[in-house]
Amino acid sequence: MDKILFPRALTHVAQLLATQLTPTPVVGGSPDEGTTTYVVVRRTGGVQVNKVLETAQFTVDVYAPADDLVEDLTQTVRATCSGLAGTHFPGFDCKKYTEYAGPRQAPDPEAPTLSRWRFTFALHLKGTTL
């Protein structure tokens, strides 16, 4: 029986965003001290649809010093994420992008001097056999 693998989608998505958004850092947690514009991408869920298909859910937080800056950057990040449909990653293919919650203001009490916008989406992934 073939074993289906769904490699680390979060790692691949974060790396792709980092290359597309340079010089804006893309991090999985907190950025370096003093960074005021950055993107945090997290895997926040998902479900294995069947033996070879998985829906991976991600939440993206975009931070910047002002609302107008964070909104523009959020739209760039959103466009990059939605463009992942049809992309081949090592070990899996991204078949579809589905947005669950569009960009919205989401103040962060841990970063009160920064504006934060958030959106949530899913990537429909097709794994490979081992």
Burial of 92 per CB tally in 10 Å (0-12, 13-18, 19+): buried
pLDDT tens for 52-63 read: 899 999 999 999
Domains of the chain, first to last: 4-29+38-129 (3.30.2000.10)
CA distance 89 to 32: 28
Q: How confident is the model at residue 28 (pLDDT cuts 50, 70, 90)?
A: confident
Helix (H, G, I), strand (E, B) or coil at 76: helix
pLDDT average, residue stretch 1-7: 66
Residues 6+ apart with CB under 8 A from 49: 55, 124
If we measure between CA atoms, which residue out of 79, 10, 65 comes closest to residue 40? Answer: 10
Q: How far is CA 94 from CA 59, 98, 127, in A?
A: 17, 11, 9
111: pLDDT confidence band, cut at 50, 70 and 90? Answer: very high
pTM: 0.90
pLDDT in tens, 61-109: 999 999 999 999 999 999 999 999 999 888 889 999 999 999 999 999 9
